[in-house]
Amino acid sequence: MADTWADGVGIALDPRADVAIGVQLDWSIRAAIAAGRLLPGERFPALRDLAAEVGVNHNTVRAAVAKLEAEGLLETRHGTGTFVAQSAAAHDRQAPLVEQAVRWAADAGLRARELAAALDVAGAEAPKPDPRAEERRALRDEIALLERLVARLETAMPERLPPEDDAPAHGARLLSNDELQAKRDALVRRLAAVQRAIDGEPEAEPETAQQRAKAPAPRRAPRPGIAPA
**Cα–Cα dist 194/200, whole Å:** 10
The full set of domains in the chain, from first to last, is 5-124 (1.10.10.10), 133-214 (no CATH)
Tens digit of each residue's pLDDT (9 = 90 or more) over 159-211:
666 666 555 555 455 567 788 888 888 888 888 888 887 777 655 555 555 55
Q: Is the dihedral of CA 195, 199, 200, 201 positive or negative?
A: negative
158: left (phi over 0), alpha (psi -120 to 50) or beta: alpha
Among 44-58, 81-95, 185-199, 201-215, the range scoring the smallest mean pLDDT is 201-215
- Residue 10 exposure: Cα atoms within 13 Å on the Cβ side: 12
pTM: 0.45
